[in-house]
Chain A
């Protein structure tokens, strides 16, 4: 009996020693909606987590492929593992995260892409719409058939906004071009992405952008010798000669900024009610390119330089220069150019952004209308 008790004491001490050692560092838990190998949204968040862990005195935990209904029990478990900060990375986690923020008032919560906050819960998003506009400018210059394609995951405001920005870019260079849309109703489905791309090719589309968590669209386009734009991760490596540019994300910018402020004591579980990161090009949370540090694939620069357009702001200018000018304008604070500046009419001709107005963040995150030039089904079109 005594031996048993002694053994028990040892076990208890060891357990506490193990957890005590770990408590020296701030523990941050991440909850992902997909697998980290998806090469899209979740993969990008995980890259951000790894970089933040390297650069800050923190320890991180993650759980992948968490269904929306399971976010609350998983938050419980992360906190039991010692997490003091919990970051949830899907819109569907919003209500669950808020409920847990209320249950654990001393833990700091963060929710990506949502709009509900609490004194201990902030929101954050790194958005691509500016980058999609720049991709659109290039796509407009590169299409020969006048048909540009976009394979979309789900018809939700985020994707509609990105398609809209892309289409506005295409039309800015090529006013008669059209953007042909296919919906997958899935964030990850290579077979669907593939056949959707093939369907667009059959329709005469010759330049591609997309929202899906695999490099499928890039690969299919490349096999047909057609240019495309990468999405979320450096996809140029999957088609070195055909990826023109693309959208890249740096979630670590947001993670490092926020967490270092937590470490410094500036952000606590008391003062997050109004903390909302809506970070774009100017904050370097997103980047133009098919690979880090390569805004435009050098293979395509001569072609883009050869196409000239007439603009009100810069006069006669090559598309390559236009992309760089716009990129510079949007990378500045305050931003000197926004694609969603009126007057803009939607594809039905309704005036959606009046002249002189720029869409607010709230308007952007609830956007449902289809930009002019978009061809294809548009569920819930106003």
Chain B
């Protein structure tokens, strides 16, 4: 197709610069739309964005908050990248986070683990907790053909009530005057933070390591090859002897475990106790779906997208305080950005080429492969 001197043609794999340019354009469009909504709410859009930028990026106290929000998003997000690569639609990271938090709390408060081993044991237990919670829907899907979107979603609710029961019943801490919290964790069970911030760096390190490890797994190992194959072409994978049960279980152990680690970070690094389930995670399990989606199947890209979403979370907070807007403004913001980003994905499989005059026509469009490369675009 030709628009004046510019040729629009298809391409197989978009370059990084093109991806970034299109994504920036999409975010710009979302900001424009959100600006219109702010305006109708009586807040001039330019002022709003000025306040947001000053309140997040150029603010010594707010910048670490972006990182703190990004930690659980990264852990859960990397896990979901892997799950989505295997075409397992895990909506249940929220529940897996809760189970990780629960297991870590058990280690912190009720296990005989010596102090020196408390933190490693909490992370290990959290991983196992999340992994077990993630395995159930995997088994349900492969043994009973239960749709994973629904089972993982239902498992979130079950985890919610489980934690609620623990903090109202057997684990309710006598220190808390009968309110629904466990006792505070002992000092040995608190994850250290960077100086004056709430950035619990060991969890952050785990997240970065995990992203690297999953990237390695996908790119360089036999198991990773099988996972990719199952995600890209389940039929062919079956012929090649890939055991869907084994790959799915492996994927969900890692994805659930990673989300569990995020839960450990939240209770061990932020709250220092188990509390009402709706307060443990700020919807990180759901937001991690966005992180994973925007990362387009790349575990390393999830580091960037988790940071981006951390920024969005922080921006919403700034709007609420500095502009006195309702709490749900964050949802409007997130929704619009997400719509524009996924809406712009089509543009990624095209490119513009400057070809004035009678330059050569593009060759016949190569078969479009982007749709099937992207995780989850077919099943």
Contact = CB atoms under 8 A, between A and B. Distances in A.
The answer to whether A and B touch directly, with their CB atoms under 8 angstroms apart, is yes
Interface of A: 35-36, 61-70, 72-74, 76-78, 80-81, 91-92, 95, 115, 154-157, 160, 185, 365-368, 379-380
A73 B65 contact: yes
A78 B321 contact: yes
Contact of B326 (A64, A81, A160, A365): A64
B96 to A, nearest CB: 18
Contact of B62 (A35, A36, A67, A77): A77
Nearest to A155: B168
B61 to A, nearest CB: 5
B177 A366 contact: yes
- Which DSSP category, helix, strand, loop or mixed, fits chain B's interface? loop
Contact of B61 (A64, A66, A76): A76
A292 B60 CA distance: 46
B216 interface: no
Interface in B151-187: 161, 164, 168-169, 172, 177-181, 184
23 contacts: A35-B326, A36-B326, A64-B320, A67-B278, A68-B279, A69-B271, A69-B282, A70-B282, A74-B317, A77-B55, A77-B62, A80-B55, A80-B59, A92-B179, A92-B181, A92-B275, A156-B178, A157-B177, A157-B178, A157-B179, A185-B161, A185-B164, A379-B169
A296 to B, nearest CB: 32
A70 B327 CA distance: 13
B172 A80 contact: no
B65 A92 contact: no
Contact of B321 (A67, A68, A77): A77
Interface in B300-314: none
B168 A365 contact: no
B268 to A, nearest CB: 12
Contacts of A35: 326-328
B242 interface: no
B324 interface: yes
A65 B65 CA distance: 18
A45 to B, nearest CB: 15
Contacts of A365: 177-178
Which residue of A61, A77, A366, A380 has the most chain B CB atoms within 10 A of its CB atom? A77
Given A64-B327, A115-B177, A69 B266 contact: yes
B321 A154 contact: no
Contact of B168 (A67, A70, A380): A380
Interface residues of B, number: 35
Interface of B: 55, 59, 61-62, 65, 161, 164, 168-169, 172, 177-181, 184, 198, 266, 270-271, 275-276, 278-280, 282, 317-318, 320-322, 324, 326-328
Contacts of A72: 198
B275 A68 contact: yes
Nearest to B178: A157
Which residue of A36, A63, A69, A95 has the most chain B CB atoms within 10 A of its CB atom? A69
A137 B179 CA distance: 28
A123 to B, nearest CB: 12
Given A80-B61, A95-B184, 20 more contacts: A35-B327, A61-B321, A67-B282, A68-B275, A69-B280, A73-B61, A74-B321, A76-B62, A77-B55, A80-B55, A81-B321, A115-B177, A156-B178, A156-B179, A156-B180, A185-B164, A365-B178, A367-B178, A379-B168, A380-B178
Query: Nearest 6 A-B pairs (CB), nearest first?
Result: A65-B327, A157-B178, A77-B321, A68-B279, A366-B177, A64-B327
Contacts of A74: 317, 321
Contacts of B59: 80
Contact of B179 (A67, A70, A91): A91
B26 to A, nearest CB: 28
